[in-house]
Amino acid sequence: MAVRQRVLPLAGSFLERWLNRDTSDYAGPHLARACRAEARHAGRRDKRFRSALGELLHELAGVPVDAKQVERTAEALGAEIAEDERHHLEPSHHLDLPQTLYLGMYGTGIPMRSHELAGRAGKQPDGSAKTRAVKLCTVWTAEGRDPNGAPVWDEASVTHSAAIESAATADPTRRPEFNERFLRETTRHRFCPAQRRAVLGDSAHWIWNIAHQLFPGAIEIVDRFHAQQHLGNLG
């Protein structure tokens, strides 16, 4: 559902730009009408479109979209989303504050082009890097219960925020960038005022360091996958 919500507006923007660029119907500054008067061309107005065609624009609508156009549009939309994420911190007061809020924190590495890794230390034998670190935080509620009475997450409550951000900072008095991202996301969800707070993650030290620094008193839980992995290794 989340992917579709992002893809459809993107598809609509492609269709919108392509149709608004088409000026083949222009017939000059004046156009004769049936009443023998002339209609004056007053300019063009952009139209807004919403598309349900997704990634099948070319097959279903005959609208060619090259890879560079997709890249440019995606980067522009990404910049807008990032700017919005940094400046909109209003808590969701229109929703009741649940009894328990959950925060998941995870990190992984994603492959990058060589020019984006220039000068970065990595885990390769020669000290170079093939990936950059992505930090992800997820906030959700689990007020619902399954047939056995175990909590299940409420799908409509789940939000994600992630970015390629460094843990280093030139100013020792400031928090790292991804710490600030976690604070913004939890502020929007009113995580700290919740009666009960739980932080989930793997066994990475940075996760529990952030939990201690930013969310003291929260319940700390190793997620089931990594707990089972550690138990398997121990066995």
pLDDT at 172 over 80: no
**Mean pLDDT across the stretch 143-167?**
85
- 33 found inside a domain: no
Least confident of 60-74, 122-136, 151-165: 60-74
- 73 found inside a domain: yes
pLDDT score of 34: 52
pLDDT score of 4: 47
- 198 found inside a domain: yes
Residue found under tokens 């082009």: 113
- 94 found inside a domain: no
pLDDT at 230 over 60: yes
- Are 57 and 107 found together in one domain? no
Domain count for the chain: 2
- Are 207 and 151 found together in one domain? yes
**Mean pLDDT across the stretch 51-71?**
66
- Are 80 and 110 found together in one domain? no
- Are 77 and 106 found together in one domain? no
- Are 213 and 178 found together in one domain? yes
Confidence bin at 219 (pLDDT 50/70/90): very high
E strand intervals along the chain: 30-32, 38-40, 100-111, 131-140, 144-145, 151-152, 159-163, 196-201, 219-222
- 113 found inside a domain: yes
| Domain extent at residue 7 | 2-21+44-87
Tell me the per-residue pLDDT of 75-97, one tens digit each, with 9 for 90 and over: 888 888 888 888 888 887 666 78
pLDDT at 37 over 50: yes
- 31 found inside a domain: no
- Are 118 and 214 found together in one domain? yes
11 or 74, greater pLDDT: 74
- 82 found inside a domain: yes
As a whole-number percent, the residues of the chain with pLDDT over 90 amount to 19
Confidence bin at 151 (pLDDT 50/70/90): confident
Structural contact between residues 176 and 164, judged by C-beta atoms closer than 8 angstroms: no
- 28 found inside a domain: no
- Are 51 and 134 found together in one domain? no
- Are 122 and 227 found together in one domain? yes
- Are 10 and 122 found together in one domain? no
- Are 105 and 65 found together in one domain? no
- Are 66 and 159 found together in one domain? no
CA gap 9, 11 in Å, rounded:
5
